[in-house]
Amino acid sequence: MPQKLTTVLAALFVASTSIAPAVALAAAVPTESGALAAPASCASLTSLVLPNTTINSAAVVPAGVIPPPLPFLPATPVVETCRVHATVTTPGVNDHIGVDVWLPVSGWNGRFQGVGGSGYKADDPNAMALAVDNGYSVVDSAIRLSAST
């Protein structure tokens, strides 16, 4: 995996460790003065500043189901998630690498999981739903190179 993408994924992981549990645990985190800290929001991830990276969107999506990849398979249920889409670029190369991160709004297990299989299995929302349903912050590690994402 390119070093730049590894750095971005690491930064998004760090963000996930502070955002994912924030909704569930915000009331339990006092500041130095003893007052309760304001909860971090999913939308606040759009202000995250990372080199050569744009956070395109960050929004809470209600619980629901992900359609199956094949008609004879069952749909995958998914819990309420904070879904983040980022684009990573390389100056002078004009590439665009899409990165999707899903964070459980509640029930985060404190862990991070990567899914996908590079160009062989990109954009697998069913795998992401399964991971986030089990409490993981999850990233689609498929590197989708395109002129725009």
Quickly state the pLDDT bin for 66 (edges 50, 70, 90): very high
pLDDT for residue 23: 38
Q: Mapping DSSP to helix (H, G, I), strand (E, B) and coil, where does residue 84 land?
A: strand
**Among the listed ranges 34-43, 73-82, 102-111, 140-149, which one has the minimum average pLDDT value?**
140-149
Strands (E), 29-136: 53-61, 64-66, 76-78, 81-88, 96-104, 112-115
Whether residue 116 has pLDDT greater than 70: yes
Say if CB 36 and CB 27 are below 8 A apart: yes
Mean pLDDT across 38-67 = 88
Distance CA 65, CA 49 (A): 32
DSSP assignment, residue 78? E
Say if CB 5 and CB 122 are below 8 A apart: no
pLDDT for residue 94: 75
Distance CA 47, CA 32 (A): 24
pLDDT for residue 83: 94
Quickly state the pLDDT bin for 62 (edges 50, 70, 90): very high
If one compares 9 and 47, the residue with the highest pLDDT of the two is 47
pLDDT for residue 26: 34
If one compares 23 and 106, the residue with the highest pLDDT of the two is 106
CA distances from 113 to 8, 13, 30, 73 (A): 15, 9, 29, 23
Torsion over CA of 70, 75, 76 and 77, rounded to 10 degrees? 160
Mean pLDDT across 101-119 = 86
Which pTM value belongs to this model?
0.71
Whether residue 49 has pLDDT greater than 70: yes
